[in-house]
């Protein structure tokens, strides 16, 4: 696949704001981790802007790694690319020769499905085109969305749709999936979209956005174990940061943002009992929050890059070594 097929439409989300936050930690060089490398748009910018940094880029998608490697070839002596999920940060840093805890100056996590994955019709992420029901971010391993639809019990399928898609009609959809798969297994996204149009009431379809959006999100999260991975990845990322190091996390749906918000809040809160007048040694917060709540894209950025519309950015800086 040619990188040129993707680069023109690959617009890094909140790039300037990410630079405003991470830049102060990178001006004197050091290690930066792009935990969700994708097509390498953010990484290319930071490598060009901060010529003293070494970038460790992670992605579970082998095709994305190949395309990013081509894009970042001018910086090949300053990059280490690793095929892993973002909860594999510690092992990736060790592979790159930076195993020491607290060795990283900046970490970027741009969560969710990548532009490449959405644009590749045969990956099955987009409900707007008919494609095999795959949805794996790492196409070399694990069950597909079709496997989930064709093998999960009614209860498990309804749980996935309700929990990960916040789908009001999860039970009704699960019942229809089981009825139809008894006649013929699901193989393509068009089959699922047609089912969803039939299962979701017309009044809801008129006001609730595309009827497939929530189900496709739920299946993607389940197939890729996204929240499970994220719950491990954010603490691992924070542990890797040096004092003065900074992290930016961009989420695209509320479940991701809740995980990020919880972990950052926990690590930026003092453990000294509230009734004590002074901070106990070693009990102070490790991090300070750099954003006021979750920052959103501006109207201008959304106009230029519609995929930035749902983004929620949170950031923090390490102010104390690990407890």
Residue 2, pLDDT score: 46
Residue 306, pLDDT score: 86
Residue 6, pLDDT score: 42
- One DSSP character per residue, 81-92 reads EEES-GGGHHHH
Nearest to 245 by CA among 14, 16, 29: 29
Residue 92, pLDDT score: 94
Strand ordering across the sheet containing 79-83: 79-83, 53-59, 30-34, 104-110, 241-251, 312-318, 287-289
- Check the annotation: does 41 bind a ligand: yes
Give the least confident one: 13-17, 90-94, 200-204, 244-248.
Answer: 200-204
Looking up tokens 């006649």 gives 183
Mean pLDDT to the nearest integer, 202-209: 72
Q: What percent of the chain has pLDDT over 70?
A: 88
Residue 16, pLDDT score: 93
- Check the annotation: does 122 bind a ligand: no
Residue 10, pLDDT score: 57
Residue 4, pLDDT score: 44
SS3 274: coil
Q: What is the C-alpha separation between 66 and 40, in angstroms, rounded?
A: 10
Residue 38 Ramachandran class (φ > 0 left, ψ -120 to 50 alpha, else beta): left
Residue 200 pLDDT exceeds 50: yes
- One DSSP character per residue, 117-167 reads HHH-GGG---TTS--BS---SSTTSS--HHHHHHHS-HHHHHHHHHHHH--
Residue 123, pLDDT score: 62
- Same fold yes or no, 3-116+226-318 and 122-224: no
- Check the annotation: does 110 bind a ligand: yes
Task: Return the CATH class of domain 3-116+226-318.
Answer: alpha beta
- Check the annotation: does 171 bind a ligand: no
Q: Where are the domains of the chain?
A: 3-116+226-318, 122-224
Looking up tokens 């004197």 gives 28
Q: pLDDT digits over 143-186, tens only?
A: 999 999 999 999 999 999 999 999 999 999 999 999 999 999 99
Other C-beta atoms lying within 10 Å of the C-beta of residue 201: 12
Q: Which residues of 186-200 are buried (b: 16+ CB within 10 A; e: fewer)?
A: beebebbbebbeebb
Q: pLDDT digits over 245-256, tens only?
A: 999 999 998 999
Pairing of strands 104-110, 30-34: parallel
- Check the annotation: does 42 bind a ligand: yes
Nearest to 60 by CA among 149, 148, 151, 123: 123
Give the least confident one: 3-7, 87-91, 106-110.
Answer: 3-7
Q: What is the C-alpha separation between 187 and 144, in angstroms, rounded?
A: 10
Residue 93 pLDDT exceeds 90: yes
Average pLDDT taken over every residue of the chain: 89
Residue 129, pLDDT score: 80
Residue 121 pLDDT exceeds 70: no
Mean pLDDT to the nearest integer, 239-246: 96
Give the least confident one: 102-111, 168-177, 258-267.
Answer: 102-111
Residue 307, pLDDT score: 83
Mean pLDDT to the nearest integer, 51-62: 95
Q: What is the C-alpha separation between 276 and 283, in angstroms, rounded?
A: 12
Residue 7, pLDDT score: 44
SS3 99: coil
SS3 263: helix
Query: Domain 122-224 belongs to what architecture?
Result: Orthogonal Bundle (1.10)
Residue 9 pLDDT exceeds 60: no
Residue 278, pLDDT score: 66
Q: pLDDT digits over 272-299, tens only?
A: 667 666 666 666 799 999 999 999 999 9
């Amino acid at each position: 696949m040619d990188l040129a097929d993707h680069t023109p439409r690959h617009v890094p989300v909140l790039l300037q704001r990410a630079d405003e936050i991470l830049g102060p930690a990178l001006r004197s060089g050091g290690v930066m981790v792009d935990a969700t490398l994708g097509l390498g748009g953010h990484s290319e910018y930071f490598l060009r802007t901060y010529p003293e940094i070494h970038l460790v880029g992670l992605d579970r998608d082998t095709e994305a790694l190949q395309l990013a490697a081509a894009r970042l070839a001018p910086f090949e002596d300053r990059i280490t690319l690793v095929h892993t999920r973002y909860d594999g940060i510690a092992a990736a840093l060790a592979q790159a020769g930076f195993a020491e805890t607290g060795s990283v100056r900046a970490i970027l996590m741009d969560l969710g499905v990548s532009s490449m994955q959405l644009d590749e019709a045969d990956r099955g992420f987009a409900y707007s085109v008919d494609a095999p029901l795959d949805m794996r971010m790492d196409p070399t391993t694990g069950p597909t969305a079709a496997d989930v639809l064709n093998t999960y019990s009614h209860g498990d399928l309804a749980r996935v749709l309700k929990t990960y898609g916040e789908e009001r009609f999860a039970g009704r959809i699960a019942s229809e999936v089981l009825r139809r798969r008894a006649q013929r297994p699901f193989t393509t996204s068009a089959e699922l979209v047609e089912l969803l149009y039939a299962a979701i009431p017309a009044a809801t379809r008129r006001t609730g956005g595309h009827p497939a959006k929530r189900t496709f999100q739920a299946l993607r999260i389940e197939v890729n174990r996204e929240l499970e991975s994220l719950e491990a990845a954010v603490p691992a990322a924070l542990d890797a940061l040096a004092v003065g190091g900074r992290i930016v996390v961009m989420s695209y749906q509320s479940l991701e943002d809740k995980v990020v918000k919880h972990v950052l809040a926990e690590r930026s809160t003092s453990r000294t009992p509230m009734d004590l007048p002074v901070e106990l040694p070693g009990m102070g917060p490790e991090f300070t929050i750099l954003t006021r709540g979750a920052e959103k894209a501006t109207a201008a950025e959304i106009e230029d890059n519609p995929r930035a519309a749902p983004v929620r950015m949170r950031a923090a800086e390490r102010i104390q070594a690990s407890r």
